[in-house]
Chains A and B, each alone.
Chain A
Amino acid sequence: MAGAGRGLSDPRLWLAASGLIALLAAAPLAAIALTALQGSSEPWQHLIAYVLPTAVRETLLLLAGVGLLTAVVGTGAAWLVTAYDFPGRRLFEWWLLLPLAVPTYIVAYAYLDVLHPVGPVQSLIRAALGIESPRDFRLPDVRSLAGCIVLLGFVLYPYVYVTTRAMFLMQTANAVEAARTLGVRRRAIFLRVALPLARPAVAVGLSLALMEALNDIGASEFLGVRTMTVSIYTTWVTRSDLPGAAQIAVAMLALVLGLVAIERWARRKRRYAQDAQHPRPLTAHRLHGVTAVAALIAVTIPIVLGFVIPAAYLVHAAATRIRFAGLTPSLAGEAVNTLAISLVATMLTVAAGVVVVYALRLRQTPLTAVLARAASLGYAVPGTVVAIGLLPVVTGMDDAINAVFLNMRASPKGLLILGSGAALVYAYAVRFLTVAVGGTEAGFSRVSRSLDDAASTLGASVVRRLWQIHLPLVRPALAAAALLVFVDCMKELPATLLLRPIGFETLATHLYGEAVRGTYEDGAVAALLIVLVGLVPVSLLARLGRTPEAGHVDATTPASRGR
Chain B
Amino acid sequence: MRLSLSASTRSPSPKLALEGVALHYGAITALDAVSLEVRDREILCLLGPSGSGKSTLLRLVAGIERPAAGRILLEGVEVAGPTRFVEPERRHVGMVFQDYALFPHLTIAENVAFGLRGRSRSEIDGIVAALLDRVNLRRYATNYPHMLSGGERQRVALARALAPRPRVLLMDEPFSSLDGRLRDDIRRHAMALLRDTGTTTVVVTHDPDEAMRIADRIALLHGGRLVECARPDDLYARPLTLAAARIFSELNELCGTCVNGVVHTPLGSFAAPHLEDRTAAKVCIRPHHLRFASNGDGIPAQVMSTTFLGELEHLSLAVANIDMPLSARVLGRTHLRPRDTVYLEVRPEDVVIVPQDDTIQASPQPSIGALQ
Residues of A within 8 A of B (CB): 9, 448, 450-451, 453-462, 468-469, 472-473, 552-553, 555-563
The reply on B138 being an interface residue by CB < 8 A is no
| Given A451-B103, A455-B103, A457-B88, A562:B50 Cβ within 8 A | yes
> Once the chains bind, are B89 and A460 in contact (CB under 8 Å)?
yes
**Can you name the residue of chain B whose Cβ is closest to the Cβ of A563?**
B55
Known: A458-B160, A458-B164, A562-B55. A553 touches B104 (CB 8 A): yes
Q: Whole-angstrom distance from the CB of A548 to the nearest CB of chain B?
A: 13
The verdict on B7 contacting chain A, using a C-beta distance below 8 Å, is no
Please tell me if B114 contacts chain A, counting CB pairs below 8 Å. Answer: yes
Check B97 against A454 for contact (C-beta < 8 Å).
Answer: yes
**Complex CA–CA separation, A201 to B160 (angstroms):** 37
Instruction: Give the residue name and chain of the B residue nearest to A458 (CB).
Output: B115
CB proximity of A461 to chain B, nearest CB, Å: 5
B101 touches A453 (CB 8 A): yes
Contact B59 A453 (CB under 8 A): yes
Contacts of A558 in B (CB 8 A): 99
Picked from B92, B97, B144, B146, the residue with its CB within 8 Å of the CB of A453 is: B97
Number of A-B contacts (CB under 8 A): 94
Per-residue interface assignment for chain B, residues 90 to 107, with 1 indicating a CB less than 8 Å from any chain A CB and 0 otherwise: 111111011111111100
How far apart are the CA atoms of A560 and B177 in the complex, in Å?
12
Q: Are B115 and A560 in contact (CB under 8 A)?
A: no
- The answer to whether B114 and A458 touch across the interface, beta carbons within 8 angstroms, is yes
Partner of A450, one of B97, B161, B166: B97
Q: Name the contact of B161 in the complex, choosing from A457, A556, A561 (C-beta under 8 A).
A: A457
Nearest CB in chain B to that of A558: its residue: B99
Contact A461 B99 (CB under 8 A): no
Quote the shortest CB–CB distance from B214 to chain A (angstroms).
Answer: 20
CA A459 to CA B173, docked complex, whole Å: 22
B297 interfacial by beta-carbon distance below 8 Å:
no
Tell me the bound Cα distance from A461 to B114 in angstroms.
Answer: 12
15 of the cross-chain contacts (CB-CB < 8 Å) are A448-B101, A453-B59, A453-B88, A453-B97, A454-B103, A457-B64, A457-B170, A458-B94, A458-B160, A460-B114, A553-B104, A555-B146, A556-B102, A556-B145, A557-B101
B174 → A minimal CB distance (Å): 13
Q: How far is the CB of A559 from chain B (nearest CB, A)?
A: 8
Taking CB as reference atom, which chain A residue is nearest B173? A562
B62 interfacial by beta-carbon distance below 8 Å? yes
Cross-chain contact A561 with B99 (CB below 8 angstroms) = yes
Q: Looking at the complex, which one of A448, A473, A562 makes contact with B105 (CB distance below 8 Å)?
A: A473
Taking A472-B105, A557-B100 as given, write out 19 further A-B residue pairs in contact, using a Cβ cutoff of 8 Å, ordered by the A residue number: A9-B87, A9-B89, A450-B98, A453-B59, A454-B97, A457-B62, A457-B93, A457-B170, A459-B90, A459-B115, A459-B117, A468-B114, A473-B104, A555-B146, A556-B102, A556-B144, A556-B145, A560-B98, A560-B101
The residues of B that contact A562 with a CB separation of less than 8 Å are 50, 55, 98, 173
Q: Given A456-B64, A459-B117, A562-B50 in contact, is the A557-B88 Cβ separation under 8 Å?
A: no
Q: Which of B95, B103, B161 has the most CB of A within 10 A?
A: B103
> B156: shortest Cβ distance to chain A, in Å?
11
CA A561 to CA B100, docked complex, whole Å: 12
Question: In the complex, what residue of chain B is closest to A465 when comparing beta carbons?
Answer: B89
Top-6 shortest CB links A-B: A458-B115, A450-B101, A454-B101, A456-B88, A457-B95, A556-B146
Bound together, the chains give a CA A453 to CA B62 distance in angstroms of: 9
Q: Give the chain A neighbours of B144 by CB distance below 8 A.
A: 556
Per-residue CB contact flags for chain B residues 49-72 toward chain A (1 = under 8 Å, else 0) read 010000100010011100000000
Residues of A within 8 A of B164 (CB): 458-459
Q: Chain B contact residues: over half helix, strand or loop, or mixed?
A: loop
Q: Is the CB of B89 within 8 A of A461?
A: yes
CA distance A553 to B50 in the complex (A): 27
Residues of A within 8 A of B161 (CB): 457-458
- Interface size class on chain B is 35 or more
A453 touches B95 (CB 8 A): yes
- In angstroms, Cα B63 to Cα A458, docked, is 12
* In contact, B104 and A556 (Cβ under 8 angstroms): yes
CB-CB < 8 A to B94: which residues of A? Answer: 457-458
Chain B nearest Cβ from A502, distance in angstroms: 46
Q: Is the CB of A557 within 8 A of B98?
A: no
A450–B103 touching, CB < 8 Å: no
Please, how many angstroms separate the alpha-carbon atoms of A557 and B97 in the complex?
Answer: 11
From known contacts A556-B146, A561-B99, A562-B98, infer whether A456 and B104 are also in contact, taking CB-CB under 8 Å.
Answer: no
- Collect the chain A residues with CB atoms within 8 Å of residue B98's CB: 450, 560-562
B95 nearest CB neighbor, chain A only: A457
Q: Which of A457, A460, A560 contacts B99 (CB 8 A)?
A: A560
Per the bound structure, the CA–CA distance linking A459 and B119 in Å amounts to 14
Q: Inside 8 A of A453's CB, which chain B residues have their CB?
A: 59, 62, 64, 88, 95, 97, 101
A454 contacts B146, CB within 8 Å?
Answer: no
A453 CB to closest chain B CB (Å) equals 5
Select from chain A the residue with minimum beta-carbon distance to B55: A562
Are B59 and A459 in touch, CB under 8 angstroms? no
CA distance A457 to B117 in the complex (A): 13
Q: A555-B146, A558-B99 are in contact. Are A459 and B92 (CB under 8 A)?
A: yes
By beta carbon, the residue of chain A nearest B96 is: A454
Structural contact, A557 and B102, CB atoms closer than 8 A: yes
> Measured between C-beta atoms, what is the minimum distance from B358 to chain A in Å?
28
From A454, A461, A469, A557, contact of B95 by CB (8 A): A454
Min CB distance B293 to A, Å, is: 47
Residues of A within 8 A of B95 (CB): 453-454, 457
Tell me the bound Cα distance from A157 to B120 in angstroms.
Answer: 54
| Residue numbers in B under 8 Å from A450 (CB-CB) | 97-99, 101
Chain A residues lying within 8 Å of B115, measured Cβ to Cβ, are 458-460
Q: Which residue of A lies closest to B97 (CB)?
A: A450
How many angstroms from the CA of A555 to the CA of B95 in the assembled complex? 21
A448 in contact with B99 given A456-B88, A459-B164 (CB within 8 Å) = yes
Note all chain A residues with C-beta closer than 8 A to B62: 453, 456-457
- Chain A proximity mask over B152-175: 1 for CB below 8 Å, otherwise 0: 000000001100101000100100
Which residue of chain B has the shortest Cβ distance to A11 in the bound complex?
B87
Count chain A CB atoms within 10 A of each CB in B50, B95, B101 and give the residue with the most. B101
B114 proximity list for chain A (CB < 8 A): 455, 458, 460, 468
Asked if residues B97 and A456 are in contact (CB atoms below 8 Å), the reply is no
Q: How far is the CA of A456 from the CA of B103 in the complex (A)?
A: 12
CA distance A472 to B110 in the complex (A): 14
> In angstroms, how far is the closest chain A Cβ from the Cβ of B41?
20
Complexed CA–CA distance, A557 and B173 (Å): 16
Q: In angstroms, how far is the closest chain B Cβ from the Cβ of A349?
A: 24
Residue of A nearest to B113 (CB): A458
For B117, list chain A residues within 8 Å (CB).
459
* A474 CB to nearest chain B CB (Å): 10
Query: Residue on A with the closest CB to B153?
Result: A556
Distance in angstroms between the alpha carbons of A563 and B59 in the assembled complex: 9
Find chain B residues with CB under 8 A from A469 CB: 103
Residue of B nearest to A10 (CB): B87
A560: chain B residues within 8 A (beta carbon) = 97-99, 101
Contact A557 B91 (CB under 8 A): no
Complex: chain A residue closest to B88, CB-CB? A456
B301 CB to nearest chain A CB (Å) = 42
Q: Which residues of A contact B103 (CB under 8 A)?
A: 451, 454-455, 469
**What is the bound-complex CA distance between A473 and B104, given in angstroms?**
8
CA distance A122 to B214 in the complex (A): 85
CA distance in complex: A317, B41 (Å): 81
Residues of B within 8 A of A563 (CB): 55
Query: With A and B bound together, what is the CA distance between A366 and B157 in angstroms?
Result: 34
Q: Which residues of B contact A9 (CB under 8 A)?
A: 87, 89
Contact flags (1/0) for B13-54 with A, using CB distance below 8 Å? 000000000000000000000000000000000000010000
Q: How far is the CB of A369 from chain B (nearest CB, A)?
A: 16
Contact B146 A552 (CB under 8 A): yes
Which of A459, A460, A468 is the most central at the interface, judged by chain B CB atoms within 10 Å of its CB? A459
Query: When the two chains form their complex, are residues B99 and A557 in contact, meaning their CB atoms are under 8 A apart?
Result: yes
Indicate which residue in A459, A553, A555, A556 contacts B89 across the interface (CB closer than 8 Å).
Answer: A459
In the complex, which residue of chain A has the Cβ closest to the Cβ of B144? A556
Task: Give Cα A504–Cα B129 distance, bound, in whole angstroms.
Answer: 58
